[in-house]
Structure 1
Amino acid sequence: MASATTRTTWRRLKRNKGALIGITIIVLSILAALFAYLLAPDGSPNANRMIVEIGGQQPGYTQQFLQLPRDRKIPSTSFFNRLFFGEEDKYQYIPIQDYQLKGDSLIVQKYIDEGLTERLAYPVSQTRWQEGAVSGDYRVSTKKFRLGTDKYGRDILSRLLVGVRVSLGVGLVTVIISLSIGVLLGALAGYFRGRTDDTIMWFINVIWSIPTLLLVFAITLVLGKGFWQVFIAIGLTMWVSVARIIRGQVLSVRELEYVEAAKALGFSHTRIILRHVLPNVMGPVMVVAASNFASAIVIEAGLSFLGVGVQPPQPSWGLMIKENYNFIITHNPMLALAPGFAIMLLVLAFNMLGNGLRDALQVKE
């Protein structure tokens, strides 16, 4: 029965083009999050390679770099460690305009600013010079910044890719926390009614009366600023809508014949709730879960923009807007608009998926 219902729901969902577009965007975002450090031009931890000389550059900016070995030896990184946490740079990147070999020295024109360079010389062995570039201790490379660089000279595209993890992570944690608390309290209130219902509804109304952003601020101040703290804070504020929906659904389902039959057979309240009630009221919950996922992304971006969310150097789309919003009124608005477009696209995808689930599951408003 459940399998047939699932197939019917999926057939309806596939006929909804908006939902399919949303699913496609979400799947691509998940893949980008999983392989962010392999896809990103800057694969360093948090995509935090700072080259201040090239800060605030336009999309498509190209720069030549002299790569110098770091003073300390960088340990090798395993594939899985690089996949999940990135790999520390083994070289420091010096932007240059030109270079040439003279005797045992490598002469470079270091780029400092537009129209301003500095002449530097580095000792190098003749045997390490091959095909116009230095091999061994020194390397010369050319890099293209497809979405430009932020004010610290970090690659915007790389930070966007790594930042997907924060947005998807906060949505996932929020949905898990809100469903866990909301389903539990809503089911208890709707099933037992009476004093239990009155107590839980009083608590729900108190939480409901507090503005979400204000409640998140309060929880964040208690838990502190940080990556996981903001996830938990947002999750603890978004369970109310789930609880109200579950309560209303359970109130209607508990009066049906199969629930009365389960009670007559002597089944425990726990079994009746878990095996007979909740499976029949989860349709609306799936819709509100998609909505909560989208809302969590927006709230996290707002908190990071205000400085109480994810902290630097962890890349967050809201934090990227905060760091670069001054460029909107100057010469390079894309530095702030790019993360804004990313937030809009991902939130739109979850909203379209939620609308598709509502139609496929035939949930009444």
Structure 2
Amino acid sequence: MATLAKAPVTSRPPSYYIRQRLRQNTPAMFGLCIILIAALLAIGGYVFMPDSTPNANNGLVQLQKKAPGFSTQVLLLRRPAEAVRKVNFISYIFSGEPSQYSELPVESYSFSGDSILVQPLRSNNAMNDQLRKFALTDVTGKQGDEAQLQQQVEQEHLVSRTFWLGTDKAGRDVMSRLILGTRISLGIGFVAVLISLVVGITVGALGGYFGGWVDKLMLFLMTVVWSVPSIMLVIAISLAIDSKGVWVAFVAVGLTMWVEVARVVRGQILSLKEKTYVEAAKVLGIPQYKIIYRHLLPNMIGPLIVIATANFASAILIEAGLSFLGLGVQPPAPSWGMMVNEGFQLIGAKSGLFLVLLPSICISLLVLAFNLLGNGLRDAYDPKIPISNA
């Protein structure tokens, strides 16, 4: 009687099952997609922005507090060659490029010989602006026939501009500032999480592994830092270095989040340092720092990744709150929290509603994405959760 051959059992590493559980978690994958889109916008930055000037700070007084979808014609006036600064592509990606033109929103225009007459767009603070006259050669920076110059002005220097998400109280494009604000939020989150991991792992590993007076000292340090509100710590750091800005926010947010990491690492090391392989490493004379960083910490990668995603979301919220209070990122750099504050000051106007709502949605969506991904990673590292069709 023939016997049926058994199918070979494929041995897979634990990382395979972690990836499978994560892929089957729809909310976590949704959060991951949102994070990847935000990271692409943060890295590309000025490439995706309608206003690619540094800090998206090209404000026009005639365009203050316009509603989403507002469109107008803009006359581009060439600036002197010595006032135009060219930048390479790398500098453009990181800090943008000053505009080669000064812009004038117009309601109507007409040509008169070698000049163009424009009616500027009425601003919110004036009933009407006076008719303005510009020489065609000044607009184009070239000499030539009047008909050719008029055609060039209409084709190259009179452009239609649409502000899909409106403008703020300084006449700046809200969409551009929201996109650049993604870089601020993700940047602060990344640096804050990095600082919290470095400090938290060091403090927690020392206290958990050595015990005794070292553990008591580390616990005292964690308790003291845990009891200090993050806002008070930011104020203290700002006063200590006599500065306010994005780097102060980076450091301050990071230094308020390491305690949770340290507590997790300490607890894990307290349970792992009694294992047989740790005792064997001590008997073999392996240095203690190698035992910690080569044998103990690699066993905590899962919990550390989960706590890092949760801290990322917390860092974004803390940064937004600090910027709202004026203690974080300083103008003209765009921050979602600062944009909410600007909209809050105009809450009685229609534009104020959009200025509060749009950055608030961005903050909520990005925080939700990190929380969903963190929950998905927590489940993915749980071996008790079954895998369908694995």
CA contact (8 A) 1:98 1:109 kept: yes
Q: Are the counterparts in 2 of residues 128 and 134 from structure 1 also a CA contact under 8 Å?
A: no
Aligned to 1:205: 223
CA distance in 2 between counterparts of 1:212 and 1:168 reads 19
Aligned to 1:124: 136
Q: Deviations over 1:324-365 (max 9, x none)?
A: 22333321211221111101111111111111111111299x
Q: How far apart, in 2, do the equivalents of 1:105 and 1:363 lie?
A: 76
Which residue number in structure 2 is paired with residue 357 of structure 1? Answer: 377
Residue 61 of structure 2 is matched in structure 1 by 52
Structure 1 residue 132, shift from structure 2 partner: 6.9
- Which letter maps to 2:274? E
Does the 8 Å CA contact 2:319/2:328 hold for their aligned counterparts?
yes
The counterpart of 1:335, out of the listed 349, 355, 369, is 355
The aligned runs of 1:89-128 (5 Å cut-off) are: 89-113=99-123, 116-124=128-136, 126=146, 127-128=148-149
Q: Answer whether contact 2:61 2:123 (CA < 8 A) is retained.
A: no
The CA RMSD measured in Å over matched residues stands at 1.7
For 2:61 and 2:28, how far apart are their aligned partners in 1?
Answer: 42
Unaligned 5+ residue runs, structure 2?
1-11, 138-145, 385-390
How many residue pairs match? The answer is 359
Query: Partner of 1:186 in structure 2?
Result: 204
CA distance, structure 1, for counterparts of residue 349 and residue 151 of structure 2: 43
Q: TM-score of the superposition, structure 2-length normalised?
A: 0.88
Contact 1:19 1:356 in 2 (8 A): yes
Match of 1:4 among 3, 13, 16: 13
One-letter identity of the residue aligned with 2:29: L
Report the Cα distance in structure 2 between the residues aligned to 1:267 and 1:111, rounded to whole angstroms. 76
Greater CA drift, 188-197 or 265-274 = 265-274
Match of 2:254 in 1: 235
Once the two structures are superposed, the pairs formed by residues 1-365 of structure 1 within 5 Å of their partners are: 4-71=13-80, 72-113=82-123, 116-124=128-136, 126=146, 127-130=148-151, 133=154, 139-223=157-241, 224-332=243-351, 333-362=353-382
Q: Which moved more, 1:105-114 or 1:334-343?
A: 105-114
Structure number, greater radius of gyration: 2
Q: Retained in 1: the 8 A contact 2:31–2:373?
A: yes
1:240 Cα offset (Å): 0.4
Equivalent-residue separation in structure 2 for 1:46 and 1:317 (angstroms): 13
Amino acid at match of 2:134: Y
- Contact persistence 1:182–1:240 (CA under 8 A): yes
Residue range with higher mean Cα deviation, 256-265 or 39-48: 256-265
Identity %: 45
Instruction: Pick closer, same or farther for the CA change 1:85–1:131 going to 2, 3 Å.
Output: closer
Distance, in Å, in 2 between the alignment partners of 1:69 and 1:283 is 56
Q: Which stretch shifts more, 325-334 or 50-59?
A: 325-334
More divergent stretch after superposition (47-56 vs 321-330): 321-330
Q: How far did residue 91 of structure 1 move? A: 0.6
Instruction: Give the 3-state SS of the residue equivalent to 2:333 in structure 1.
Output: coil
TM-score normalized by the length of structure 1: 0.94
Taking a change above 3 Å as real, the CA distance of residues 24 and 257 of structure 1, as seen in their structure-2 partners, is same
Task: Give secondary structure in 1 for the equivalent of 2:346.
Answer: helix
Secondary structure at the counterpart of residue 262 of structure 1: helix
Displacement, 1:259? 1.1
The answer as to whether partners of 2:193 and 2:254 remain within 8 angstroms in 1 is: yes
Distance 2:363 2:65 in 1: 21
Query: Which 10-residue stretch deviates more, 352-361 or 119-128?
Result: 119-128
- The 8 Å contact of residues 191 and 250 in structure 1, kept in 2 or not, is answered as yes
Tell me the distance in 1 between the aligned counterparts of 2:383 and 2:331.
Answer: 41
1:238-296: per-residue Cα shift (whole Å, max 9, x none)?
Answer: 10000001000100011111111211222111111111111112221111111111111
My pick for the range that moved more, 172-181 or 259-268, is 259-268
Per the alignment, residue 6 of structure 2 pairs with none
Q: SS at the partner of 1:57?
A: coil
CA distance in 1 between counterparts of 2:254 and 2:383 reads: 24
Cα gap change, 1:157 to 1:363, in 2 (>3 Å): farther
CA offsets, 1:8-39, max 9 Å, x none? Answer: 21111111111101110010001001111011
Cα distance in structure 2, aligned partners of 1:220 and 1:227:
11
Gaps of 5+ in 1: none
Given that 1:189 and 1:197 are in contact with CA atoms closer than 8 Å, whether structure 2 keeps it comes out as: yes
Q: SS of the residue aligned with 2:130?
A: strand
Q: Residue 134 of structure 1: CA displacement?
A: 6.2
